């Protein structure tokens, strides 16, 4: 059970090209504890932290690197805010292809550690994601290499629609009323929309309008800002500054189309501050046992705000996408934790520190 169960709907011509490391068919948690604490009845968390490299980016990478093999590419790569680097590197390793990943120099160290352990060449760029992206595009063009989210992009984006397929299947072959999606470039949300539409046009689920709700971190929320201002175009953010580094794309490639898709769906877009994001990570972990990186905290924080403001009502079936694992951002999360107090290995010491006072 993984995303290749939907291979008839994915753009790979022959099964022999498929690069399969077990991506997809992640758990859809019925999140009763979190729902109770927020006042909802039908809340689900789609837990893409459990993919092979611990983020949803394994979905688009699986399809892109399979396509690179089909095209006979000599080398693969990508620009990345971190998670894509690890995902492309892992799939490239399985495919036996050299891999070049371009990341901003301030990328979380665990994400870089992961990509480099899979054997990728790490190109740390002294600049923003948008600058790393531009350089990567030049390198791909100059060397004739296949880069997942650049010249393989039409195939890359197809991989993520499997998230929507799975949600429908896991809900008993129906679509949810609303889905909350973190927005970086916006590709994931558009893929999810296409996934629902494809299942509807194939008659696998009933026709319905799924409300698309976009979530970004306050320090880099160009799509949310445009949504709230009623604008049709995106004004790029030059210096993104959010704890949700996976979403720190100041000039989102699909922003224009995402805005239209959100509006057409009757959806909404909302941002969350660093504190709201970190609090939401704690809330999700302590209520549902799911450990998320800040990008997933963003969707939970936005869920919380939209329930409070009445945009999301208690009866709707809501799916919240949690797209990356907490270990990805260990540096960020660690910095707010107090070290545990150390006790001698004696019962008396335990009782003094934690025990019930039952004298």
Ligand X SMILES: *Cc1c(COP(=O)(O)O)cnc(C)c1O
Residues that bind ligand X (CB under 6 A): 55, 57, 83, 182-188, 246-247, 293, 295, 323-324
Contact 329, 82 (CB under 8 A): no
Q: Which is closer to ligand X, CB of 95 or CB of 187? A: 187
Closest contact distance (angstroms) between CB of 182 and ligand X is: 4
Q: Which is closer to ligand X, CB of 157 or CB of 168? A: 157
> Up-side HSE of residue 194: CA atoms within 13 Å toward CB?
17
Q: How far apart are CA 235 and CA 150, in angstroms?
A: 22
Closest contact distance (angstroms) between CB of 160 and ligand X is: 7
Q: Which is closer to ligand X, CB of 83 or CB of 332? A: 83
Closest contact distance (angstroms) between CB of 60 and ligand X is: 8
Q: Which is closer to ligand X, CB of 57 or CB of 161? A: 57
CA nearest neighbour of 24 among 205, 161, 179, 215: 161
Q: Which is closer to ligand X, CB of 114 or CB of 185? A: 185
Closest contact distance (angstroms) between CB of 190 and ligand X is: 8
Contact 160, 191 (CB under 8 A): yes
Closest contact distance (angstroms) between CB of 191 and ligand X is: 7
Closest contact distance (angstroms) between CB of 342 and ligand X is: 34
Closest contact distance (angstroms) between CB of 93 and ligand X is: 19
Closest contact distance (angstroms) between CB of 203 and ligand X is: 28
* Tokens at 297, concatenated: 């905290």
Q: Which is closer to ligand X, CB of 176 or CB of 326? A: 326
Q: Which is closer to ligand X, CB of 162 or CB of 185? A: 185
Q: Which is closer to ligand X, CB of 167 or CB of 205? A: 167
Contact 84, 51 (CB under 8 A): no
């Amino acid at each position: 059970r993984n995303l290749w169960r939907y291979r008839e709907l994915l753009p790979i011509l022959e099964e022999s090209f498929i690069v399969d490391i077990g991506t997809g068919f992640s758990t859809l948690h019925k999140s009763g504890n979190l729902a109770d604490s927020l006042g909802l009845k039908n809340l689900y968390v789609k837990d893409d932290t459990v993919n092979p490299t611990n983020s949803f980016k394994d979905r688009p990478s699986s399809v892109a690197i399979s396509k690179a093999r089909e095209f006979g590419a000599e080398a693969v790569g990508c620009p990345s805010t971190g998670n894509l680097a690890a995902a492309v590197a892992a799939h490239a390793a399985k495919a036996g292809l050299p891999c070049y990943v371009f990341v901003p120099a301030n990328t979380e160290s665990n994400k870089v550690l992961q990509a480099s352990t899979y054997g990728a060449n790490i190109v740390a760029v002294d600049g923003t994601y948008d600058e790393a992206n531009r350089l990567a595009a030049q390198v791909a063009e100059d060397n004739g290499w296949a880069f997942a989210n650049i010249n393989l992009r039409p195939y890359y984006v197809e991989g993520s629609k499997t998230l929507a397929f799975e949600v429908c299947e896991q809900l008993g072959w129906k679509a949810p009323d609303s889905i909350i999606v973190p927005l970086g470039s916006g590709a994931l949300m558009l893929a999810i929309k296409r996934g629902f539409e494809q299942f509807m046009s194939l008659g696998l689920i009933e026709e319905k309008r799924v409300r698309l709700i976009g979530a970004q971190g306050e320090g880099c929320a160009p799509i949310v800002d445009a949504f709230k201002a009623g604008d049709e175009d995106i004004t790029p953010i030059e210096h993104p500054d959010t704890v949700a580094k996976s979403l720190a794309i100041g000039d989102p490639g699909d922003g224009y189309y995402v805005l239209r898709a959100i509006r057409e769906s009757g959806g909404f877009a909302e941002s969350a501050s660093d504190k709201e994001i970190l609090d939401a990570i704690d809330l999700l972990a302590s209520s549902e046992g799911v450990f998320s990186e800040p990008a997933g905290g963003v969707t939970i924080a936005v869920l919380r705000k939209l329930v409070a403001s009445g945009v999301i009502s208690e009866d709707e079936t809501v799916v919240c996408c949690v797209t990356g694992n907490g270990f990805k951002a260990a540096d960020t999360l660690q910095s707010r934790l107090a070290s545990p107090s150390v006790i001698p290995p004696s019962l008396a010491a335990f009782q003094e520190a934690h025990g019930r006072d039952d004298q």
